[in-house]
Amino acid sequence: MDSDYQGLDEMDEVVARVIGTQDSTPMKFWVAVDPAYYLQLDDVVAVERLLPDGTLVKLYGIVTDVKAKHEGARFDSDVFLIMDGILPAEVSQTAEITTTRFEPGIFVPPLPGEAVFKARDKVRDIALYFDKMELKLPIGLTRDKEGLFLNLEFLNGSRGAHVNISGISGVATKTSYATFLLYSLFNCGILGKEAINTHVLIFNVKDEDLLFLDKKNVKLTDDQRADYHRMALEPGPFRSVEFWAPPRRGDLNAAPDVTSRYEGVTSFFWTIAEFCKQDLLAFLFADAEDDRQMYTVVIYNVMSKLREAPTTEEGGIRIDLQTIRTFQELVDAIVERLQDEITMRDWAGAAINQGTINAFIRRLYASVPHVSNLIRGDIPNASKHQINWQKQVTVIDIHNLNDRAKRFVVGVTLRRVFNEKERTGSAKPLHFVVLDELNKYAPREGSSPIKEILVDISERGRSLGIILIGAQQTASEIERRIVSNSSIRIVGRLDAAEAGRSEYGFLPSSIRQRATILKPGTMILAQPELPMPLVLEFPFPSWATRASEAAAGSVGDIGLEDEDPFFGIDN
């Protein structure tokens, strides 16, 4: 037998015994807890059974329910007599064990009376399949401060890919956990030399919390630092980060529209020429509702005409003899040709009626105040404002934008990431995309250009090395194909009604109920290799999440000139 599987009698804690008053099955059994000990939810235990042929079977499991009662009491009110010493009774504690692993693979139940051990160290690793993981990614701690791990092969595309995180906004700490996963990935050493070229693209959709990833968190306590050390991680900020934000409206210098940080943030926009040559018009109509309208035909006809327009040096275009430098001028030029009887059929299509054209025009005009600062041809050296991902982590701040503008930025950027990876034809280096509020971009009903890209990423991204880390309040509102293609499923605190949906069928009923009372910093993670989800706690961010937590001038724990391979690269 494998030397890793030592006899359980060598362990120091016999905490319970299998009971005979409840049926034991290979997958579930009950144990009576020794009065000198206790078992709580999520504890890992082990028990063994000697078969008639001499084979020793070891069963490992997780505590999924715990009960306590008076044995000898018949009525609820007997508790008072028992406590007064009038009625004899004994307190019994029992725990339900859900089996996670058999060694060897003989599926037999444990026998009544068998000793149950508290699994620790190597035995606990066996119970949770950690011993089988060649690439172990730290994902958090148990309540006993023991490390928990994820098999990286189900994240990096080798055997699976993509992460989906669900939970109530403001309570489930979805974005916080996503950034912790990335911090663990970059700092545990698991990527080796590939870490240099691995990229993360994060869309910041709420406040400006993610604009301080490169700053130390001055509020991190010694106990919180110790949590990182328990996972063999050194606490600190992200070492290689670049920040992008939309330009302020009406600012001729295109200064980034941020309030809590100015240093190190670059504004982004697309030139009029890029908008026309790259067929970006469709992403202004990226609401799933738009795709059900007849004016989608007008969109593609107009795009074909804009594609033919000659460009100017500063990123503008020429339509006929008119030079277009602003988005308002572009919209006016399009509308003029759609309303002119001579050019209307050429620009809108031969079989399109005026009502459909007017619907398109209304939508186009409605987008002007929201995207004029993002689509322009009036700024010199516009290439400096093109989003790139030269650093490990790229944060794109879109929280100040209108929903239509957010969809435009997300859709255009994701299409570029996907196309670039598709052109390389290689899964390495990996490119992670973190997108919160996924329900806005890939709703269950309808279709849109962004939704098609996200579905494509979920289905083909694994082979291309694009890994989606998507988050939303309710998984029931997300396109099923995206959720089902996510190898890693994570939930924070859930609304009770949402927890009852079929999308959370991977959670046992007891854990599903617990999901409605989880506190911030506690998550439930399911991975394919382990038959039971893991309840974990993750440490307080060691990077600043707001200006008040940021240490002035701190970027990393070390001199970037010496250690950071990205130091000095021009954004």
> Among candidates 455, 523, 454, which has minimal Cα distance to 143?
523
* Sign of the Cα pseudo-torsion (97, 103, 108, 113, in order): negative
What does the pLDDT look like over 147-197, one tens digit per residue? 999 999 999 999 999 999 999 987 768 999 999 999 999 999 999 989 999
What value does the mean pLDDT of the chain take? 89
Other CB atoms within 10 Å distance of the CB of residue 81: 14
pLDDT higher than threshold 90 for residue 219 = yes
Type of residue found at 198: T
Q: What CATH number belongs to 8-132?
A: 2.40.30
Confidence (pLDDT) at 292: 53
10 pLDDT above the threshold of 60: no
Determine the residue type at 6: Q
Task: Locate the domains of the chain by residue range.
Answer: 8-132, 137-267+387-543, 270-376
Q: Would you state the pLDDT for residue 555?
A: 52
What value does the mean pLDDT take over residues 492-513? 90
Kindly indicate the confidence band of residue 368, based on its pLDDT and cuts at 50, 70 and 90: very high
Instruction: Return the pLDDT at 564.
Output: 42
pLDDT score recorded for residue 165: 96
Residue 560 has pLDDT above 50, yes or no: no
DSSP state string for 220-232: --HHHHHHHHHTT
| pTM for this predicted structure | 0.89
- In 370-449, which ranges are E strands? 375-376, 393-397, 431-435
The pLDDT of residue 18: 97
Task: Please give the residue that has the higher pLDDT: either 92 or 293.
Answer: 92
Helix, strand, coil content of the chain in percent (nearest 5) = 35, 25, 45
- Token digits of residue 397: 């701040």
Give me the pLDDT at residue 277, please.
95
Q: What is the pLDDT of residue 289?
A: 57
Task: Say how many C-beta atoms besides its own lie within 10 A of residue 20's C-beta.
Answer: 12
Per-residue confidence at 557, pLDDT binned at 50, 70, 90?
A: very low
Same fold, 8-132 and 137-267+387-543: no
Q: Which carries the bigger pLDDT value, residue 561 or residue 481?
A: 481
Q: What is the DSSP string of 309-370?
A: SPB-TTS-EEETTEEE-BHHHHHHHHHHHHHSTTTHHHHH-TT--HHHHHHHHHHHHHHHHH
Q: Quote the percentage of the chain above a pLDDT of 90.
A: 72
pLDDT exceeds 80 at position 294: no
DSSP tag of 384 = G
Residue 210, strand partner residues: none
Cis amide leading into 104 (omega within 30): yes
- CATH T-level assignment (fold) for domain 137-267+387-543: Rossmann fold (3.40.50)
pLDDT-derived band at 350 (thresholds 50, 70, 90) equals confident
pLDDT in tens, 421-472: 999 888 889 999 999 999 999 998 888 889 999 999 999 999 999 999 999 9
pLDDT in tens, 318-343: 998 899 999 999 999 999 999 988 88
DSSP bridge pairs for 148: 140
- Mean pLDDT over 374-391 rounds to 90
pLDDT value for 172: 67
Per-residue confidence (pLDDT) for residue 554, from 0 to 100: 54
Q: What is the reported pLDDT for 8?
A: 54
| The predicted structure's pLDDT at residue 174 | 92
Percent of the residues in the chain that have a pLDDT greater than 70, as a whole number: 93
